[in-house]
Amino acid sequence: MKTGALPKQLDLRGLAARGVQINGTVSPDDLPRLAESGIGIVDLGSAAFDFRRDEEARYVVAVSVEVKVVMQCQRCLGDMEVPITTASLMACVWTDEEAASLPATYEPLLVEDAADLSDIAEEEILLAIPVSPVHETECKSEAQQAALAAEVEGPEKVEDTGERESPFAVLERLKS
């Protein structure tokens, strides 16, 4: 088992044949696509990879990633921390035909001769981030709360006598 920063270029087939487990950390420098989308991470995240072969000799990777990302709340437009925890079971494939023939329990992982584990972890994070994050609690700003608390002056309240005036009564008065 290896810990620390995730290795950059690995042969996933060799790792699966040996049944290797790799635990590592992901940093903002390892996740350029996440940064390009305007999402940052709070601290170092963790990723765990379990490589093995299944009963049909497929190269299988169990991936789990935990990280806290900083996103913009869609209600108050302020920054908020969103914990991301994801786990996937993937089978290494080299062609689209192989991916189409996989059982539903596996997600296809299209690989080359060497793979970057940070790229796989980043893809998992990107797939797990919420589309419209909002704070769990009420997140109105002080100005919004003050505006809502202020009494809005409007027409005086009409007493309800039980009888409703016909909407056509106004037209009748205009006509005469």
pLDDT, tens only, 32-44: 888 888 888 888 8
Q: Structure pTM?
A: 0.71
Cβ contact 139:121 at 8 Å: no
User: How many angstroms separate the Cα of 85 from the Cα of each of 34, 126, 134, 150, 176?
Assistant: 15, 11, 17, 42, 73
The Cβ-side half-sphere exposure at 66, using a 13 Å CA radius, reads 4
Cβ contact 28:77 at 8 Å: no
pLDDT band (50, 70, 90) for residue 145: low
Q: How many residues does the chain have?
A: 176
pLDDT at 32: 87
Say how far apart CA 117 and CA 61 lie, in whole Å.
Answer: 11
pLDDT digits (tens, 9 = 90+) for 63-79: 999 999 998 888 888 88
pLDDT digits (tens, 9 = 90+) for 73-119: 888 888 888 999 999 999 988 888 888 989 989 999 888 778 888 88
Six-digit token pair at 90? 């993937």
Say how far apart CA 119 and CA 106 lie, in whole Å.
Answer: 18
Backbone angles phi, psi at 148, to 5 degrees: -70, -30
pLDDT at 90: 92
Return the beta strands (E) in 16-159 as ranges.
Answer: 21-26, 40-41, 45-53, 59-72, 79-93, 107-110
Say how far apart CA 155 and CA 73 lie, in whole Å.
Answer: 36
